[in-house]
């Protein structure tokens, strides 16, 4: 063990600071590098063990611990008193020499047998642990006879309970809790020294590990030993357990559990020096080492080492009863211990030679005794007098060890690694900064260059533009100057001219123009007026002529007298107006003449005016006069015109009235003519019996061409009259309006009613009018008249009109629906007038042609009424009745042939067969033909056959088949007879 100063930067602890405050064990306080919270725990522990009692800070502290009596002690020493007596309060121990004498020894601490593991740790080991945390090497070592509690004190794991934990566990607990895994490193190696061979307890295969000494520092290391970084206390306890298992323990007689090997726990603590940590942190944060040059930034590391040594027993070999291999073993054990004793002796006596190299133990503990380590030694003793010699030897060892003084030094090293890292960071940072700056400078330069080029370009352009513009402006200037000069000259000339061409001339000219315009207007107007007047005159003359004509016509009718009178009055008025107009015209003529003379004068003046400028004023005056005069004339003319307009409107009103009167007159005339024609017709009327029935033609088609009432005149002259009348009536209708004519049907005046009815009847003869008449309520009006009027003419004409309307299939339905059948039957029953009866019969005949109305006609009694009409004896009436029956039977037979009807004929039910037979003789040929046809058609229905037989109609049919004047009817009758089985059967019988 050497006190030589090493090459490492170990710094000696200043003795002055150490002397100011010491802990319980006399160790000087050491600075703590742990966090405030962790540091406080250490500080508290230190406070509890404070009391300076030694002036030498590096001296090895020695405490003695007495093991309680064990079972063996109690058994063998029951009669003896203890060989030691402890005075813990005085830190003294008395070793009994004999019954009378004892030697007293002072120690740094004396632990009685009842001392707790905790107190032992805090007094013996804790100051050393704190020292280690602060960067000093430290050693805690247990020395004593086997079985006195070295392992108990140092290596106990404390599985039974934490209070039983030994120094190793407690020391590591403190170290772990006072270091930070982020910055600090705690590592261990666990070895045993046995028979001068170092074995790795954490890797038992590693045996005989060599000790390497650094020639520079003189420090020892075991490069072959396993070093494990400690994560936490559990991890450490686990490793310790492994080591314990591996530890070879040889049993001895004295204590079967004790070990003959030295167990050495090495704890390496590495942490950044205090103050430097903060520096480093801040430097990392800023990424820029701010104060490198000052040297304050050089990071240092505290690299300290704690040795906890559980020595093998210090007893004599003979006493332990070892033999054979064990003897050899004991020699080696003692070699190391003897060597340690010698070294301590030498150190205690301050001998110049320390035999450190004699054993491996002394080599390993070189720094612990006489080195730079803070060292605590606990010596364990037993109470038994039997081991007095061993106890005394142990005490003496302790006493000598107390004299060893170490030079405690801070184990501080420059942390080259982190320093290098830091420097590299800084270099990187500065390089980046420089690059950044360089880039910025380059960018700036480029920008400036670009701006410069732009500026130069724009400058050149501006120069060009300015030059061009100045040239242009110069040119323009010259041009403008010359222009201005010429304009000024022109202006001057213009002004002179303008002065000459006075405003008066312009004014006069203007007024003259105005005059001319006025004259032209006057002339045009005059002409128009004259034209209008001429036209009116002509029209008036025309109207007068017409009025005279119509006046003559009007005299014929009584009703028109008043109107005619009025017309005469109107004529008078017109004459008067004409007179007035004549006068006006004369007046106007006069004015025109005057105006003409004035114009001539004006013209003269105008021609004169052109001759000389001097006469202009005169002319102007005259012109003004003319204008005034003209104005007056115009005003007068205006008045005349207004009057003329008034007259004209009066004339229009009068002519309208005249037109109306004419129309009325015309209508009257037409009616008169119609009446006359009617009269002629009624006289000349010859019924048309020659209605030609054709089998295949629909009945309505047949009717359309022929059976129109009121147009039956055969002669072409009469036809013409009728057509002329109809045209007239149509014209009346167009002018007056159908509705007005229909309204007249309801007139109070019987004559008017009759006349209107005649017009309607005539209109109804025309297919085109039929629909219109029905639409506008004509049918209703006619039915009303038929039903209500007692007047024969009305009944006749209305029936005729209905008969005409009944030509249309649509109207037939309407007539029946509106009760027309019944009304007509009623009329027939009431009148004897053959004309009326003919009309009614004609209407029925038309209705009979519509098969859908057959049932209704029967129910209405129309068929009965039709047959009853024969009583009049009028052949025309009979002809119509026969036509009706022919129509009826034809429709019926068609229905039967088509299979749409069955059963006896409705006509036969009504007794028509008898009627037909009785009326078949002595009738005109056309009536006869209707009867024949009716019989033929009825015979076609087999259901009628029996009636034919019973009534004798069959005979008539046979007669027709032979004698009918028409071949087609004869053939029809023959065919019918032939086809009917009943008739055939009857004929065969006959
Ligand atoms: P050594 O390691 O010195 O050979 P040990 O530590 O093995 O001795 O102790 C021997 C025996 O004595 C063990 O059984 C141990 O439990 C007991 N012992 C030692 N010291 C004490 C003590 N202070 N209190 C109680 N028992 C003890
Ligand atoms: Mg032991």
> Alpha carbon 569 to chain centroid distance?
87
Are the beta carbons of 584 and 640 closer than 8 angstroms?
A: yes
pLDDT in the model for residue 559: 66
- The DSSP secondary-structure symbol of 808 reads S
Express each pLDDT in 875-903 by its tens digit: 888 889 999 999 998 888 888 888 888 88
Tell how far the Cα of 312 is from the centroid of ligand 1, in angstroms.
Answer: 13
Cα of 203 to ligand 1 centre, how many Å? 27
Provide the mean pLDDT of the chain.
Answer: 80
The bound ligand whose nearest atom lies closest to the alpha carbon of 256 is 1
**Residue 156 alpha carbon, nearest atom of ligand 1:** 6
DSSP secondary-structure letter at 572? H
- List the shell of residues around ion ligand 2, using CB closer than 5 Å: 150-151, 258-259
Q: If DSSP codes are grouped into helix, strand and coil, which group holds residue 221? A: strand
3 state DSSP class of 427:
helix
Mean local confidence (pLDDT), 31-47? 39
Query: Cα–Cα distance between 645 and 529 in angstroms, integer?
Result: 11
Residues 65/414, Cβ–Cβ less than 8 Å? no
Residue closest by Cα to atom 17 of ligand 1: 149
Tell whether the model's pLDDT for residue 281 goes beyond 60: no
Q: How many A from CA of 258 to the centre of ligand 1?
A: 9
Atom of ligand 1 nearest to the CA of 310: 2
Closest CA to 824 of 811, 810, 804, 843: 843
Q: What's the farthest any 2 CA atoms get from each other in the chain?
A: 209
Tell me the pLDDT band of 804, cut-offs 50, 70 and 90: confident
Instruction: Decide if 630 contacts 596 (C-beta within 8 A).
Output: no
Ligand (nearest to CA of 73):
1
For residue 193, how far is its CA from the centre of ligand 2 (angstroms)?
Answer: 13
Q: Which of 149, 251, 258, 390 is the best mutation target for the ligand 1 pocket, counting ligand atoms within 8 Å of the beta carbon and taking the most? A: 149
Return the structure tokens found at 535: 């036209």
Region 598-625 average pLDDT: 74
**Residue showing tokens 């701010």:** 290
The first and second tokens of residue 236, run together, are: 């450490």
Q: CA–CA separation, 484 vs 515, rounded Å?
A: 43
> 């057959």: which residue's tokens?
854
320-328: list long-range contacts, CB under 8 Å, 24+ apart. 320/146, 320/252, 320/253, 320/254, 321/252, 321/253, 321/254, 322/252, 326/250, 326/252, 326/260, 328/195
pLDDT in tens, 830-854: 888 888 888 899 899 989 988 888 8
Identify the CA nearest to 412 among candidates 274, 296, 302: 302
Predicted confidence at residue 290, as pLDDT, reads 46
Helix pair 820-830, 809-817: axis angle to 10 deg = 70
Q: CB under 8 Å to 668, separation ≥6 — which residues?
A: 557, 559, 560
Cα(305) to ligand 1 centroid in Å equals 27
**Residue 956 in this model has a pLDDT that exceeds 60:** yes
Token digits for 75? 């058994």
Ligand 1 atom, smallest distance to 142 CA: 3
**pLDDT tens track for 61-115:** 999 999 998 888 777 766 667 788 999 999 999 998 877 888 999 999 999 999 9
**Main-chain phi, psi angles of 192, to 5 degrees:** -135, 145
Atom of ligand 1 minimally distant from the CA of 146:
4
CA 343 / ligand 1 centre spacing (Å): 27
Which atom in ligand 1 lies closest to the alpha carbon of residue 153?
Answer: 6
From the CA of 166, how far away is ligand 2's center (Å)? 12
Distance, CA 67 to ligand 1 centroid (Å)?
7
Q: How far is residue 758's CA from residue 199's CA, in Å, rounded to a whole number?
A: 162
User: pLDDT exceeding 90 applies to what percent of the chain?
Assistant: 27
Structural tokens at position 517:
């315009």
- What is the arithmetic mean of pLDDT over 393-420? 89
pLDDT in tens, 629-675: 888 888 888 888 888 888 888 888 888 888 888 888 888 788 777 76
- Predicted confidence band of residue 722 (pLDDT cuts 50, 70, 90): low
pLDDT per position as a tens digit, 288-313? 444 444 445 688 899 999 999 999 88
Q: Hey, what long-range contacts does 316-325 have (CB within 8 A, 24 or more apart)?
A: 316/389, 316/390, 319/254, 319/390, 320/146, 320/252, 320/253, 320/254, 321/252, 321/253, 321/254, 322/252
pLDDT band at 682 (very low <50, low <70, confident <90, very high): very low
Instruction: Decide: 776 and 812 in contact? Cβ < 8 Å.
Output: no
Q: What is the pLDDT, as a whole number, of residue 538?
A: 85
Mean pLDDT of 602-608: 72
| 975-984 long-range contacts, CB within 8 A, separation 24+ | 976/936, 976/939, 976/940, 977/939, 979/940, 980/939, 980/940, 980/942, 980/945, 981/942, 982/942, 982/945, 982/946, 982/949, 983/939, 983/945, 983/948, 983/949, 983/954, 983/957
Percent share of the chain, pLDDT over 70: 80
The residue whose CA has the least distance to atom 10 of ligand 1 is: 147
Residue 768 pLDDT? 78
Q: Give the residue, out of 63, 65, 67, 73, with the most ligand 1 atoms within 8 A of its beta carbon, to mutate for a pocket test.
A: 67
Position 772 pLDDT exceeds 90: no
pLDDT of 34: 41
pLDDT at residue 723 in the model: 67
The stretch 17-44 carries a mean pLDDT of: 40
CA–centroid distance, residue 70 to ligand 1 (Å): 9
Lowest mean pLDDT among 67-81, 344-358, 516-530, 776-790: 67-81
How remote is the CA of residue 235 from the centroid of ligand 1, in Å? 26
How large is the angle between the packed helices 981-989 and 953-963, nearest 10 degrees? 90
Distance from Cα 255 to the centre of ligand 1, integer Å: 9
Q: What is the pLDDT of residue 577?
A: 78
The DSSP symbol for 229 reads E
Instruction: Express each pLDDT in 964-983 by its tens digit.
Output: 888 888 988 898 888 888 88
Q: Supply the DSSP string of 318-360, one letter for each residue.
A: HHHT--THHHHHHHHHHHHHHHHHHHHHHHHTT-S---GGGSH
CA-nearest of 529, 786, 754 to 648 is 529
Whose C-alpha lies nearest to ligand 1, atom 1?
147
Q: Which two tokens stand for residue 281?
A: 């942190």
Does the pLDDT of residue 704 top 50, yes or no? no
CB 413, CB 431: distance < 8 Å: no
> What residues line ligand 1, using a CB cutoff of 6 Å?
67-68, 70, 113, 144, 146-152, 255, 257-258, 313, 380
Place of tokens 């009616």: 671
Count CB-CB contacts under 10 A for residue 940: 21
117-138 mean pLDDT: 96
C-beta atoms surrounding 221 within 10 Å? 14
Tell me, what's the pLDDT at 681? 62
By three-state DSSP, how is residue 122 classified?
helix
Atom 16 of ligand 1: nearest residue by CA position: 152
- Out of 328-332, 538-542, 712-716, the most confident range is 538-542
If one residue of 66, 113, 152, 168 were mutated to test the ligand 1 pocket, choosing by the most ligand atoms within 8 A of its CB, it would be 152
The 3-state DSSP class for residue 84 equals strand
Nearest ligand for residue 259 CA:
2
> Which pLDDT score, from 0 to 100, does residue 248 have?
52
3-state SS class at 574: helix
Q: Is the pLDDT of residue 548 over 60?
A: yes
Nearest ligand 1 atom, CA 145: 3
Query: Span 618-623, mean pLDDT?
Result: 78
611 burial type by CB count under 10 A (0-12 exposed, 13-18 middle, 19+ buried): exposed
67 Cα nearest atom in ligand 1 = 23
Coil, strand or helix at 142: strand
Render pLDDT for 426-484 as a digit per residue (tens, 0 to 9): 899 999 999 999 999 999 999 999 999 999 999 999 999 999 999 999 999 999 999 99
Whether residue 378 contacts residue 65, with contact meaning beta carbons closer than 8 Å, is answered with yes
What pLDDT is stored for residue 699 in this prediction?
Answer: 33
Residue 32's pLDDT is 41
Residue 684, CA distances (Å) to 677, 833, 835 in order: 10, 17, 13
Distances (CA, A) of 978 to 939, 946, 952, 966: 11, 15, 17, 19
User: Which pLDDT score, from 0 to 100, does residue 952 have?
Assistant: 86
Please give the distance of CA 251 from its chain centroid, rounded to a whole number: 94
What's 903's DSSP letter?
Answer: S
| Pocket probe mutation, ligand 1, options 68, 72, 147, 154, max atoms within 8 Å of Cβ | 147
Whether residue 207 has pLDDT greater than 80: yes
Q: Which ligand is nearest to the CA of 144?
A: 1
CA angle 700, 702, 705 (to 5 degrees): 105
Distance from residue 192's CA to the centre of ligand 1 (Å): 20
Distance 391 CA to ligand 2 centre (A): 16
Closest ligand by atom to 147 CA: 1
CA distance 24 to 51: 5
Average pLDDT over residues 613-637: 80
Q: Which atom of ligand 1 is nearest to the CA of 144?
A: 3
Helix axis angle, 875-897 to 912-919, nearest 10°? 130
Residue nearest to ligand 1 atom 22, measured at CA: 67
Ligand nearest to the CA of 314: 1
Residue 906 scores a pLDDT above 70 = yes
Yes or no: say if 85 and 94 are a contact pair by the CB < 8 Å rule.
yes
Cβ atoms < 10 Å from Cβ of 657: 14
Give the ligand with the smallest distance to the CA of 263. Answer: 2
**Closest Cα to residue 901, out of 963, 959, 944?**
944
- CA–centroid distance, residue 105 to ligand 2 (Å): 25
| Residue of minimum CA distance from atom 5 in ligand 1 | 149
The residues that bridge with 61 in the sheet, in sequence order, are 376
Helix (H) / strand (E) element for 61: namely strand 61-66
* 126 Cα: distance to centroid of ligand 2 (angstroms): 21
How many whole angstroms separate alpha carbon 123 and alpha carbon 110? 10
> Is the predicted pLDDT of residue 408 greater than 80, yes or no?
yes
**Minimum-distance ligand 1 atom for the alpha carbon of 65:** 23
Under DSSP, the state recorded for 58 is T
What pLDDT does residue 364 have?
A: 94
Q: What is d(CA 722, CA 738) in angstroms, rounded to the nearest whole number?
A: 20
Atom 20 of ligand 1, residue of closest alpha carbon: 149
DSSP 920-980: SSSS-HHHHHHHHHHHHHHHT-GGGHHHHHHHTHHHHHHHHHHH-SSHHHHHHHHHHHHH-
Whole-number pLDDT of residue 65: 97
Which H, E and C letters describe 634-645, residue by residue?
HHHHHHHHHHHH
Q: How far is the CA of 92 from the centre of ligand 1 (A)?
A: 22
């Amino acid at each position: 063990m050497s006190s030589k100063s090493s090459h490492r930067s170990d710094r000696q602890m200043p003795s002055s600071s150490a002397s100011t405050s010491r802990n319980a064990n006399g160790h000087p306080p050491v600075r703590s590098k742990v966090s405030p919270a962790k540091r406080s725990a250490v500080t508290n522990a230190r406070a509890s063990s404070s009391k300076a009692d030694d002036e030498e800070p590096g001296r090895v502290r020695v405490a003695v611990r007495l093991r309680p009596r064990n079972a063996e002690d109690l058994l063998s020493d029951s009669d003896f008193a203890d060989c030691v007596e402890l005075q813990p309060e005085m830190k003294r121990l008395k070793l009994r020499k004999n019954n009378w004498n004892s030697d007293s020894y002072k120690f740094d601490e004396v632990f009685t047998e009842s001392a707790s593991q905790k107190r032992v740790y805090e007094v013996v080991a804790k100051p050393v642990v704190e020292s280690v945390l602060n960067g000093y090497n430290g050693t805690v070592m247990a020395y004593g006879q086997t079985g006195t509690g070295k392992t108990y004190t140092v290596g106990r794991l404390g599985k039974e309970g934490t209070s039983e934990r030994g120094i190793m566990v407690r020391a590591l607990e403190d170290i772990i809790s006072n270091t930070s895994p982020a910055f600090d490193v705690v590592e261990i190696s666990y070895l045993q020294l046995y028979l001068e061979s170092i074995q790795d307890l954490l890797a038992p295969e590693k045996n005989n590990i060599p000790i390497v000494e650094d020639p520079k520092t003189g420090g020892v290391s075991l490069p072959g030993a396993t070093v494990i970084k400690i994560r936490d206390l559990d991890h450490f306890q686990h490793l310790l357990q492994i080591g314990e298992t591996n530890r070879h323990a040889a049993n001895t007689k004295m204590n079967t559990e004790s070990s003959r090997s030295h167990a050495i726990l090495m704890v390496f603590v590495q942490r950044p020096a205090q103050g430097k940590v903060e520096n480093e942190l801040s430097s990392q944060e800023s990424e820029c080492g701010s104060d490198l040059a000052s040297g304050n930034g050089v990071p240092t590391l505290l690299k300290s080492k704690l040795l906890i040594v559980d020595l093998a027993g210090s007893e004599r070999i003979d006493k332990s009863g070892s033999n054979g291999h064990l003897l050899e073993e004991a020699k080696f054990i003692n070699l190391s211990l003897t060597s340690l004793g010698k070294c301590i002796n030498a150190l205690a006596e301050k001998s110049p030679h320390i035999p450190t190299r004699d054993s491996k133990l002394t080599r390993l503990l070189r720094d612990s005794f006489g080195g730079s380590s803070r060292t605590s030694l606990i010596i364990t003793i037993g109470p038994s007098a039997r081991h007095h010699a061993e106890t005394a030897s142990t005490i003496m060892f302790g006493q000598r060890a107390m004299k060893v003084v170490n030079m405690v030094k801070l184990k501080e090293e420059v942390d080259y690694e982190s320093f290098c890292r830091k420097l590299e960071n800084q270099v990187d940072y500065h390089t980046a900064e420089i690059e950044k700056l360089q880039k910025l400078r380059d960018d700036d330069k480029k920008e400036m260059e670009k701006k410069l080029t732009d500026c130069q370009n724009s400058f050149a352009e501006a120069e060009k533009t300015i030059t061009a513009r100045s040239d242009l402006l110069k040119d323009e200037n010259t041009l403008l100057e010359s222009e201005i000069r010429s304009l000024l000259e022109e202006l001057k000339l213009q002004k002179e001219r303008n002065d000459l061409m006075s405003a008066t001339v312009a004014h006069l000219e203007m007024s003259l123009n105005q005059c001319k315009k006025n004259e032209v207007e006057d002339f045009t107007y005059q002409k128009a007026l004259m034209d209008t007047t001429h036209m009116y005159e002509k029209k008036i003359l025309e109207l007068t002529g017409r009025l005279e004509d119509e006046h003559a016509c009007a005299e014929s009718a009584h009703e028109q007298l008043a109107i005619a009178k009025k017309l005469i009055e109107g004529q008078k008025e017109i004459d008067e107006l004409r007179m007035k107009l004549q006068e006006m015209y004369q007046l106007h003529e006069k004015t025109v003449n005057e105006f003409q003379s004035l114009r001539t004068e004006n013209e003269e003046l105008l021609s004169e005016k052109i001759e000389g400028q001097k006469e202009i004023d005169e002319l102007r005056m005259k012109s003004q006069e003319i204008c005034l005069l003209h104005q007056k004339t115009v005003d007068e003319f205006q008045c005349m015109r207004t009057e003329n307009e008034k007259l004209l409107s009066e004339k229009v009103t009068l002519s309208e009235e005249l037109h109306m009167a004419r129309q009325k007159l015309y209508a009257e005339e037409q009616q008169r003519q119609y009446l006359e024609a009617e009269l002629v017709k009624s006289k000349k009327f010859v019924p048309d019996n020659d209605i030609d029935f054709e089998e295949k033609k629909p009945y309505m088609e047949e009717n359309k061409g022929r059976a129109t009432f009121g147009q039956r005149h055969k002669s072409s002259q009469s036809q013409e009259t009728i057509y002329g009348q109809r045209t007239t009536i149509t014209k009346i209708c167009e002018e007056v309006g159908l509705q007005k004519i229909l309204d007249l049907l309801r007139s109070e005046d019987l004559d008017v009613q009759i006349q209107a009815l005649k017009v309607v009847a005539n209109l109804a003869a025309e297919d085109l009018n039929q629909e219109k008449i029905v639409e506008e309520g004509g049918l209703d009006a006619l039915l009303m008249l038929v039903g209500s009027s007692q007047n024969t003419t009305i009944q006749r004409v209305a029936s005729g009109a209905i008969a005409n309307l009944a030509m249309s299939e649509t109207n037939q339905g309407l007539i029946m629906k509106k009760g027309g059948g019944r009304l007509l039957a009623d009329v027939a029953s009431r009148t004897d007038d053959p004309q009326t009866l003919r009309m009614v019969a004609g209407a029925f005949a038309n209705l009979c042609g519509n098969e859908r109305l057959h049932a209704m006609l029967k129910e209405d009694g129309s068929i009965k009424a039709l047959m009853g009409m024969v009583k009049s004896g009028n052949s025309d009436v009979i002809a119509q009745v026969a036509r009706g029956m022919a129509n009826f039977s034809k429709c019926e037979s068609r229905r039967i042939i088509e299979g749409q009807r069955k059963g006896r004929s409705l006509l036969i039910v009504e007794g028509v067969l008898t009627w037909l037979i009785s009326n078949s003789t002595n009738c005109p040929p056309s009536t006869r033909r209707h009867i024949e046809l009716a019989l033929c058609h009825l015979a076609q229905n087999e259901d009628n056959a029996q009636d034919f037989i019973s009534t004798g109609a069959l005979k008539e049919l046979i007669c027709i088949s032979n004698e009918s004047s028409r071949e087609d009817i004869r053939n029809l009758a023959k065919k019918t007879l032939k086809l009917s089985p009943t008739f055939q059967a009857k004929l065969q019988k006959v």
